[in-house]
A and B are shown apart, each in its own frame.
Chain A
Amino acid sequence: MKLIARDIRKEMNGLLVLDGVSVQLDEGEFVTVVGPSGCGKTTFFNVLIGLATYDGGEIVYEGRGVENLRGLVAYMQQRDLLLPWRTLMGNVLIGPEIQGELNGETLTRAKELLSFFRLDSFCDMYPSQLSGGMRQRAALARTLMFGKDLLLLDEPLSALDAITRRKLQSYLLALSDRFGKSVLMITHDVEEALLLSDRIYVFSALPARVRRVIKVEMEKPRSIADRRFLELKEEILDELLEEVQNGS
């Protein structure tokens, strides 16, 4: 197991937010978390990466108990969070830079990644000069350049329009398929979860619990028109709807 989060419990201002959430992730697996909005998904992530404290439970990374995953994961948000004062290349190199590994090898890897994300002709441009899709691709390249096996993505495509989003989903798929990363992703888009994931955790409304774990056993790349795909989509949407109605 790459990552085990067991029975994570957290209160905020006397309100129970995470009610014993357990999630696990295998080496090279792509796992998504879906849940009604405001259900505590992001809080769960913040607990994992150390941006929030928790009141109970344990986190095990590669068989070793850890306080949180700070320094062990690469993390990415809905906002691209590119540094506006750095060119694309400068942004992609921030990871090796803070790890003190800025050398010819990492430079070559950065160039390869930028060309994989079809950004090679924009290396010297500033983020403000680029479109949303390009910026998010650059953010993906930067996330990979942190050189971690485990990626935590918090709704990485939510800020993009539908078409750009569809295009970028294939890049997300490449994270596990091509680069061999283990990916834990939050999304509110059930279709996206079904397109990419090996397993899907459906969270309940607040306080968050794991309502259901769905193993998606379809070959990738998948088609959204597939019958099994549509069935699963309906099923998950029904569960979420039920949660929203119960929750409020």
Chain B
Amino acid sequence: MDRRNFYPVFILLALIAVWEFLVRLFEVPSYILPPPSGIFQTFAVNFSLLLRHTLVTLEEILLGIILALALAFPLALVMFFRKSLERAFYPLLIASQAIPVFALAPLFVYWFGYSILSKVLMAALIVFFPITLNLLQGIRDADRDLVDLLWVAGATKWQILWKIRFPWALPFLFAGLKIGVSVSTIGAVIGEWVGSEEGLGYLMLHANAQLRISLIFASILILSAIGLALFYGVELLERALLPWKRRDRKWEEKG
């Protein structure tokens, strides 16, 4: 394994050590800032509680990502093929991001209830923007000469889309997906804050009310871990699906 992979682990451990040290040195009360050891203890004691709420939030996020993907593809294609529809949709797309998710959360909960649906929609709303824009950009960006090559050979526009534009857009899609999944937790948690009966956001609100600060920290840690795992999961998927993107050495011809 590359030793550079250990750098972030090392930094993290160092920060935890400093944190622990400072909290003990200045005797900070644990209802203000708990020491890392206290947070880990909370983890151990409340494991099943945390697990239950984590699974709910995770489900919301994953469904949100899937929904976002399901929306991104047709929307990007429609905008690619119909210039007029692109002009119609594009400002709406941007507006959907200009409105803070926070502002929409109460409405979503009002319309779709305390159930998982409103959180899934919140997560999808955040994720689908970078995916759609990148996908559209990738489809459009495809090498003109490659497109012409197939066109001259008599390929249909769907063949060109499927055999040139779509593969060309895949790296773009993955770039958008990486941005999307890293922020996907935001939508789900805000949705839970506004109205829910389970999930890490819900847990945090309750912990807050009871001054169980270390439980809040534990939830935050889990959320960061989810974000990281999703990000690297997408990266692994990208490597598996785009083997040609790996930079290998060139094969030099002999003789």
Give the distance to chain A from B167, nearest Cβ to Cβ, in Å: 5
Chain B residue with Cβ nearest A127: B244
Size category of the binding interface on chain A: 20 to 34
Partner among A70, A128, A131, A133 whose Cβ is within 8 Å of the Cβ of B152: A70
Residues from chain B with Cβ under 8 Å of A95 in the complex: 153
Partner among B170, B242, B251 whose Cβ is within 8 Å of the Cβ of A130: B251
Q: CB distance B146 to A70 under 8 Å?
A: no
CA distance A50 to B154 in the complex (A): 11
Q: CB distance A98 to B153 under 8 Å?
A: yes
Complex interface residues of chain A between 39 and 62 (CB less than 8 A to chain B): 49-51
Residues from chain A with Cβ under 8 Å of B167 in the complex: 83, 85
Residues from chain B with Cβ under 8 Å of A50 in the complex: 151-152
B56 lies within 8 A of chain A by Cβ: no
Residues from chain B with Cβ under 8 Å of A126 in the complex: 243-244, 248
Q: CB distance A98 to B152 under 8 Å?
A: no
Given contacts A70-B154, A73-B152, A129-B248, whether A83 and B164 have CB atoms under 8 Å apart is yes
CA distance A146 to B164 in the complex (A): 17
A125 lies within 8 A of chain B by Cβ: yes
Give the distance to chain A from B246, nearest Cβ to Cβ, in Å: 9
CA distance A16 to B244 in the complex (A): 44
A71 lies within 8 A of chain B by Cβ: yes
Q: CB distance B145 to A129 under 8 Å?
A: no
Chain A residue with Cβ nearest B249: A129
Q: CB distance A122 to B251 under 8 Å?
A: yes
Residues from chain A with Cβ under 8 Å of B251 in the complex: 122, 125, 129-131, 134
Given contacts A129-B251, A131-B252, A133-B253, whether A97 and B163 have CB atoms under 8 Å apart is yes
CA distance A39 to B78 in the complex (A): 40
Residue numbers of B with Cβ under 8 A of A are 143, 145-146, 148-156, 159, 163-164, 167, 170, 242-244, 247-253
Q: What 4 A-B pairs are tightest by C-beta distance, nearest first?
A: A71-B154, A126-B244, A98-B155, A85-B167
- Having A70-B152, A81-B146, one finds 19 other A-B pairs with CB under 8 Å, namely A51-B151, A70-B151, A70-B154, A71-B153, A77-B145, A81-B143, A81-B145, A81-B149, A83-B164, A85-B170, A95-B153, A122-B251, A126-B243, A126-B248, A129-B248, A131-B252, A131-B253, A134-B253, A146-B153
